[in-house]
A and B are shown apart, each in its own frame.
Chain A
Amino acid sequence: MNVASEAITFPNIQETTTSFLFQNETPKTIYKGIKNDEANCYKNGSDLVDYRNRCKGVEAVAAKGGTTVIGETMDRVVDAAAKIPGSKILNTMPKFTGTADQITSQMMQNNRKWILNEMRSGRTILDIVLDAGRTNRSIFYEME
Chain B
Amino acid sequence: MIDGNKYIEIVRIYFHFLITEFGFKVSEEIINGNFFYRLRYINKIKAVTISYENIEDYLSVFISILQNGELPDYDDKTKTLHLNRINAQILSRIDKNEISLNNEYFDKFNPKDELERKLLKSAKELRLCLKHYDEILV
Contact = CB atoms under 8 A, between A and B. Distances in A.
Contacts, number: 65
A134 B1 contact: no
B110 to A, nearest CB: 24
Given A93-B33, A94-B33, A75 B38 contact: yes
B133 interface: no
Nearest to B72: A79
Interface residues of A, number: 27
5 contacts: A73-B74, A93-B36, A100-B1, A100-B55, A134-B58
Given A75-B74, A79-B71, A95 B56 contact: no
Interface of B: 1, 4, 30, 32-36, 38, 49, 51, 53, 55-56, 58, 60, 62, 71, 73-75, 77, 82
Given A73-B58, A79-B74, A133-B77, A95 B33 contact: yes
A69 to B, nearest CB: 12
Contact of B51 (A74, A82, A132): A74
B32 A93 contact: yes
Interface string A85-106: 0000011111110001001100
Contacts of B77: 133
Given A73-B58, A103-B1, A103-B34, 19 more contacts: A73-B60, A73-B74, A74-B35, A74-B38, A75-B51, A75-B62, A75-B74, A76-B74, A79-B73, A92-B33, A100-B55, A107-B33, A107-B35, A107-B55, A132-B75, A134-B58, A136-B56, A138-B53, A140-B55
Given A74-B53, A107-B55, A140-B56, A95 B71 contact: no
Nearest to B1: A100
A93 B60 contact: no
